Structure 1
Amino acid sequence: MKFKKLVLTGAAGRLGSYLREPLSKMCDELLSTDIADDIGTLYPGERYAQADLAKYDEIFPLLEGADMVIHFGAIVDEKPFEELLGPNFVGSYNIWEAGYQHGVRRIVYASSIHAVGMHKKRDFIGTDAPHRPDTFYGLAKCFTEDLGSMYWDKRQLESVHLRILSAAQVNNARALGSWLSYDDLIHLVTRAIDTPSVGFAVIYGVSNNDRAPVDNTKASFLGYRPKDNAEQFAEKVLAETPAPDLNDPAEMLQGGPFAKVDLGQSGIAQMTIVDDRKKT
């Protein structure tokens, strides 16, 4: 199925860089947007518009004529609440309200494990686990999931919320369970777009890892069947990793380092994420 128009927010980000090309092949027009000045060479059928998610008058016209929005735009770290309020809270409202006003069929949202980050990994939570945010960043994900649920119940605007665990290179022990490969990310987003009916749905963004700490059974109707497995990195990673402190929240809880930092303090600073975004 080929769509007339898709909109991708967060197109200048690392994950957005891997989504642009496959999304451009699914539609006649891909409108990519971000706050950045530009995103490099555009793919066939793609155009770019600079816009601030926190400003409704900049977002509203971009969604005109769109079939679906793939909403990956946000500050992607813990920050003081005041810094996250515009892009991560108000920005989500602006996308949903503009989408509703323009008759958009579905929004695919980059949620996060940090919406449930204070759950224990050993509990093997499902997609129906109650919200337990680990940070203001995670709270924004909870807000947007509830926003999506409300807009489905009250206004029949569909949405799929992808609770991504960690879409980054496997260079630590936590990632052996939490890894989402870029190929599986593309597959996940594709299934969220082309599944005929979704209503309001939540699914974990994680590859087919032997050590995955979450259960996607109740989201199987979306047809997401990941192929990659972080176990291929286990021998090297474990050889370089010291024995874990079993009293450390970063080791025991779903949110990893985000579950340990003080509110408003960077979680990314505690991690070793490689910026390997796709170049155009």
Structure 2
Amino acid sequence: MKKLVLTGAAGRLGSYLRVPLSKMCETLVSTDIADGLGKLLPNETYVQADLADFAAMEAVVKGADMVVHFGAIVDEAPFETLLGPNLIGSYNIWESARRHGVRRVVYASSIHAVGMHPKTEAIGINAAHRPDGFYGLAKCFTEDLARMYWDKEGIEAVCLRILSCANVTNPRAVGSWLSYDDMIHLVERAIDTPIAGFSIIYGVSDNDRAPVDNSGARHLGYRPQDNAEQFAEEIYAKAGVLDPQDPANMCHGGPFASTPMGQSAMMALNLDTDDKGKD
């Protein structure tokens, strides 16, 4: 590829993606609302831009072969807060892609698009949308937007329903963990698979207790290597007995399923993010 665009490049996951993505293209254009990224890679340029600004996004996307769209507010928040970056921003990316002939958009969706499904149901990639808040609703919107642009305009899309990409610190993560290495592998396969069409795949490592089924997305070639079972005994011992009536324990969305709509749920996850960049 000549040009690859990465949105959310200053975020935690975007920071892990910059180096591997730079190896897949002649020019990596990283963008975020942050003032900068520090030292840039040899073939990387940085554009400070707001996802909600259509003209800015169109300028960034122009000439790109693909877009890796990881930019967003990554938490539950009031609808009005999420509207610009998480909904309008998605429209701006796909409409810019249409106008400039972008082949494919790889999108950081989330388990929260289906977060109210119970974990006792091993849901597959065709599970009905069942968001656990406004954040999950924005993921549903963007998945449907991506499907529409594939059906109507032929823009391929790979929607990565990431479960939890951080160090394992809680019982939920024993099943939902996506290691950083597997996350990079997942994005690489979403980019270099020859034909993607419209695809959904769960971003989860090869955990013994993974509560989702990726068998319907094997065409993407994602074969995770890490397994959170190594942490299970210690994590479960510390947590004690969990309440099976609590949606935070019973639902795929974890604390997002029990937190009131519009209120932050990230703190309840007790994430150990081992930050490479900035949130």
Same topology, TM > 0.5:
yes
Structure 1 residue 279, shift from structure 2 partner? 5.4
Corresponding position of 1:243: 241
1:12 alignment partner in structure 2: 10
Asked if the contact 2:114/2:128 (under 8 Å) is kept, the reply is yes
The residue number in structure 1 matching 2:126 is 128
Does residue 154 of the first structure (1) align with residue 152 of the second (2)? Answer: yes
Structure 1, unpaired ranges of 5+: none
Question: For 1:86, which of 80, 84, 104 is the aligned residue?
Answer: 84
Instruction: Give the whole-Å Cα distance in 2 for the aligned partners of 1:235 and 1:129.
Output: 30
- CA-to-partner distance for each residue in 1:112-157, whole Å, 9 max, x for gaps? 0000000011110000000000000000000000000000000000
- Aligned to 1:144, the other structure's residue is in SS state helix
* CA RMSD after TM alignment: 1.0
Residue number among 87, 104, 107 corresponding to 1:106 in the alignment: 104
Find the counterpart in structure 1 of residue 216 from structure 2: 218
In 2, Cα distance between equivalents of 1:91 and 1:109: 12
**In structure 2, distance between residues paired with 1:253 and 1:119:** 6
Which residues in structure 2 correspond to 1:1-280 (within 5 Å)? 3-278=1-276
Q: Secondary structure at the match of 1:122?
A: coil
Cα distance in 2 for residues equivalent to 1:5 and 1:251? 42
Distance in structure 2 (CA, Å) of the matches to 1:275 and 1:121: 24
Q: CA deviation at 1:277?
A: 2.4
Using structure 1 for the length normalisation, give the TM-score. Answer: 0.98
**Percent identity, aligned pairs only?**
67
Number of aligned residue pairs: give it. Answer: 278
Deviation at 1:39, TM superposition (A): 1.1
1:62-112: CA deviation from partner (whole Å, max 9, x where unpaired): 111100000000000000000000000000000000011010000000000
Runs of 4+ in 1 over 4 A off after TM superposition: none
TM superposition score normalised by structure 2:
0.98
Q: For 2:74 and 2:240, how far apart are their aligned partners in 1?
A: 27
Alpha-carbon shift at residue 193 of structure 1 (Å): 0.2
Q: What one-letter code is carried by the residue in structure 1 that aligns with 2:193? A: T
| Structure 1 residue 230, shift from structure 2 partner | 0.3
